[in-house]
Structures are given as C-alpha cells and as structure tokens.
Chains A and B, each alone.
Chain A
C-alpha cells in the first residue's frame, strides 16, 4: 500500500525545478565561468584577453599580500569563533539563572545581530578613529597620547575581530540558552546528590550535552568569520595596504580597483576551496564528539 502510494512521485520533482534553475544560472554557471576566467589575463571589462595558464595562480601564491590576507582571514575566522563561543556560553550560563530583567539584557545583547554589519562597523569606527575617537577621549582623561588604532595592521585585525564578535555573540548566546534549557534538570540533581561540584557538573553534564549547540555555533561562526567583508570595508577598507584585508576584500580590490579579473577569479577559487575544506573538516570533527541523550 505504502509503496504504491509513494512509488510514482517522480512527477513531484518538477516542484524543485525553479530552485534548480536559480542555482544553475546564478551559482553553477558562474562557478564554471570563474574557473575559465582564472586562466586568463582578462581585465574585467574589455573584449580582449588571452589564456595564460596557471600564471594567475602562480602570481597569487608568490604575492606577499596573499599570505597576509590569508592569515588575517584565519584570525577573523577562528579568532571570532573562539571569542563568540566563550563569551556566548558564559552569557548563556549566567542568564540561565532566575534573574529579573534577564529578558531585557538578552534583547540588548542580541540587538546588533539584526543591524547591518556596515553600520556596526561605522559605529565602532567612531570609537577607534584618531581624531576625537571615543577611546582616545578616555585616553586623554588619563593624560595619555591619542593612538591611531586602525593604522597598525595587526591591531586593526584584532579590533575588527572584536567588532565582529560584539555584533554576533548574541547568536551564540541564544543557541546556547536553548541548548541549556534542553538538558534535563534531574541530571544535575543526581550529580549533586553524588557530591559533584559545579565544575565537574559543567564538565561532565553541561559540556557533553551541549555538543550539538557547540557544533552549530562553531560552524556558523567559522563560515561567518572566514567570509568577513562589510565590517572591514567600514572600518579600514583592508588597509593600511593589505594589512587588515581578508580574502573577500582583497578579491574585491583586485577586481574593481586593480582591474585584474583573472587574478581575482583565481583568488575566488582558492577561497572557495579553502573555506569548503575548513568548514567541512570542522563539521565532521565536531559531529564525532556529539553524544545522544
């Protein structure tokens, strides 16, 4: 009976044809085109170009900027993932208690999530700007000289990582709150009867049972951090030079400012591979650690 009913359902597959068409035109076709363009010296607008083989890839690998950008991207990805998860979990544990007005605080912490990252970047730029920046005002109170915070590459990378964390830690917090509420309370009762202290309860009950939430958060944050774009554009535009640039902003710059479409496409393909490998590996590693309740 069942078999007969679900057997002839092939006709229903027409329902996903529109979605597939969108993917085919706006993702799959450009993706293949991107591979072709990366083997040319196309400038992005003229009709003339020639095939140059692996030249653009060799350029990419020997370009000092690629490696600065690459290490920045890794910091944006893993740095903000670490910060967001540690802070998000700490906030979730704190807000999981019986406290009045904790809903209000949760609303406030989550607010930046819904605001455009570009605007968030501008707001924090007002803190770190050299002339009349909010941080330098505080420095002046203590008689310290003003600092041009964003003029130093590594420091700018740190600041941008912080801004990204500030904006999106509300997501990690919310997912951890939901995860904490799904853990049965009698586990903790049983543990405290056995005399387990807070730390060993946290280590042996909370953390293992939060693994699904940790997986989601870590993977979401890695993907979000590795493709960081808006905040960087708003705060430093990748500068000074390429010192705070990510793969996204570097590619953007190569294409629109330097008009080296071949190089930009090669970098895009490299970024595709890199992010796919990193996020799939972390997904597999984390899934292995999950336990069933």
Chain B
C-alpha cells in the first residue's frame, strides 16, 4: 500500500514535469540535431538562447516588463488600499452599492470591451506608451485588489479604530497610522496575484504595446514566433527565458505564492 502510494506520487510529479523536460531539451539541442524531442541532448549548446535573446529583443522586453509591472503594482496597492477602507468600515447603502459595482467588474472579462477601449486609447494617443498600458492594467486588477483588502480590513477589530480616535487621531490618521501597517500580509498576496497577472498579460499588451521599444515578454515572444516558425529550438529557448524570472521567484517564495492564493480564494 505504501509503495503504491509513493509510486503514484512519483508518477504525478513526473507527468507534470514532462512539458518542462521537453522544452528544456529542445532549447539546449543544437539546431542540426534532429533527434526526437524525448531524447535529451548530449552535446548541449547555448546558441539557441543567444539567438532568442538577440532576435526577440528580450533584454528590452525584460526592462519593459519590469517598468510596467512595477509601476502597476505600486498604483494597484495604493489606490486599492485607500478605496477599501471606507468601503469596508462604513457600509452605508451608497458604499455598499459602490462596492458591488467594483466587485461586479471582476466577473466580467475585460476583453468584452476591447473595441471601445482600444479606440479610446488610440484617441488619447496612448498606443505604444507605458502610461496607457499601466493605467489599463491597474484598472483591471483593482476589483480583485479591493475585494481582498476589504475582506481583510473587516477582520481587523473596530476597537483599534476606536482606541485611535480616543488618542486623538482623526479618521485619515486612523487609516494611515493604525490600519495601513496591519495590511502587510494581505498586501503580499495582492502584490503576488496582481503582479503575476500584469507580468504575464497578453490580451491587452498585444494591442497596446506593438513597438519593440515598449513591448513586454509575451508580446515579444509571440512576434518572434511568427517570424521564426522554422527555428523551433530558438522559440523553445525564448520560452525558457520568458518563464525564468517568475519561476525563480516562485521557487524561492512558493510559500507566499500558494498561501496567498488559498487565502485570497477562501476569504471569498
């Protein structure tokens, strides 16, 4: 029974690693080696990585990704935390309506307003700019953020607010001095969840960021692939480079990644 259980466990692990094994094998294999994808290369090469890095402009894409994700996450946390305090603490009819409005934006996919959104951003002169990409990303991550923050704030005892007000804090000071410092754990969750969404986003980036100078990794990869369909090992190397940053982060911080997700979901 014990052996059987461990065999199943090993099998699950192997099955879920196979795609990454194939990808890595392809990326390390010299282009002239036409053996099966299942055979790991014996004469490994880094040429594919060098070609992918240069041809797909991945260094620029990496910088763009960092700029866009970094600025988006800062704005998301700031605006989201601010909005969540009154929405969770002062549940007047009006505020409940506003909250519902925010949350309902979570259910409906952003892509349904693709046409008017794109044409509006064209009119604003926002195509191929960082700011339009950042503001769009922030908007579509805010509902989830507000959902997580309000849930967390309502679990903070009101007595803390009252103690603050007895000590002479006004309502804004209560938020900044008492509530905000308590939000650290949920802020970590928000940063991870929304940061990943923005980092990996393709559906907006593909039409907002078309020029090489502003495009992010997913956009760069998709253009690279349509250009070099025959150089499949370059494409594989590009994919490895593209997934490397988040994978490394995940392996070091997996506790936060997995717990953050479970917390976020179960609170709902």
Residues of A near any B CB (own CB < 8 A): 5-6, 9, 11-13, 15-16, 18-20, 22-23, 25-27, 29-31, 33-34, 37, 44-45, 91, 94, 97, 99, 101-102, 104-119, 122-124, 126-127, 132-134, 137-138, 166, 171, 174-175, 177-179, 212-213, 216-217, 220, 223, 226-227, 229-230, 233-234, 248, 251-252, 255-256, 261, 264-265, 268-269, 271-272, 275-276, 279-280
Contact = CB atoms under 8 A, between A and B. Distances in A.
B83 to A, nearest CB: 4
Nearest to A9: B90
Given A102-B9, A276-B108, A127 B115 contact: no
A213 B161 CA distance: 32
Contacts of A13: 86, 90, 94-95
A12 B83 CA distance: 9
B115 A119 contact: no
Interface of B: 5-6, 8-9, 12-13, 16-17, 19-20, 22-23, 26, 34, 36-38, 79-80, 82-87, 89-90, 94-95, 98, 101-102, 105, 107-120, 122, 135-136, 138-140, 142, 146, 162, 165, 171-172, 175, 196, 199-200, 202-203, 207, 217-218, 221-222, 225, 232, 235-236, 239, 242-243, 246-247, 250-251, 254, 257-258, 261-262, 265-266, 268
B261 A111 contact: no
9 contacts: A13-B95, A44-B119, A123-B23, A127-B19, A178-B266, A217-B265, A268-B114, A271-B109, A271-B112
B139 A114 contact: no
B8 A126 contact: no
A34 to B, nearest CB: 4
A176 to B, nearest CB: 10
Nearest to A271: B112
Given A23-B142, A30-B120, 17 more contacts: A13-B90, A18-B82, A25-B135, A26-B139, A31-B116, A44-B115, A105-B12, A108-B12, A123-B22, A134-B38, A166-B19, A220-B265, A229-B202, A230-B218, A251-B112, A251-B115, A265-B116
A19 B102 contact: yes
Contacts of B110: 27
B202 A116 contact: yes
Contacts, number: 257
A108 B251 CA distance: 10
Question: Which residue, A23, A102, A117, A280, has most C-beta atoms of chain B within 10 A?
Answer: A23
A104 B13 contact: yes
Contacts of B86: 9, 12-13, 15-16
A177 B262 CA distance: 9
A137 B36 contact: yes
Nearest to A33: B116
Question: Which residue, A105, A109, A112, A175, has most C-beta atoms of chain B within 10 A?
Answer: A105
A126 B171 contact: no
